[in-house]
Amino acid sequence: MLKYLAVYFSFLLSLVIIDLIWLLGIAKNLYRDDMGSLMASEPKLMAGLGFYLLYALGASIFVTLPALSKQSWIYAAQYGALFGFFAI
């Protein structure tokens, strides 16, 4: 059980850090310029938190844990790409 929690929280932490770098650094002005009035004035933090928790759970269950059990980075890449495709 501890192994599963470690995988989940590791993935969740990585996801949040990468997304914060993207949202606050790289794409901040891009979204504001291109989406303008479509953006909410304040972010919906509970919706974002729910997304991160569920996405990390799905990726851990369907990609990370099976890839670790098979010891295959190719499996992780293939099923990670499929998971991302279907999660769009």
pLDDT at 25: 86
pLDDT tens-place string over residues 2-35: 989 999 999 999 999 999 999 888 887 887 788 7
Residue 44: how many CB atoms within 10 A of its CB? 10
H/E stretch holding 22 reads none
Q: What is the mean pLDDT of residues 63-88?
A: 94
Cβ–Cβ under 8 Å, residues 5 and 57: no
Question: What is the reported pLDDT for 76?
Answer: 94
Burial 6-36 (b: 16+ CB within 10 A, else e): ebbeebbeeeeeeeeeeeeeeeeeeeeeeee
Q: How many domains does the chain fold into?
A: 1
The answer for residues whose C-beta is within 8 angstroms of residue 44's C-beta and 6 or more apart is none
Q: What is the mean pLDDT of residues 48-54?
A: 94
- Quote the pTM value: 0.82
When pLDDT is cut at 50, 70 and 90, the band that residue 52 belongs to is very high
List the domain range (segments joined by +) for residue 49: 2-87
pLDDT mean across residues, the chain: 90
Q: Which residues contact 27 (CB under 8 A, 6 or more apart)?
A: none
Query: Which pLDDT value is given to residue 33?
Result: 80
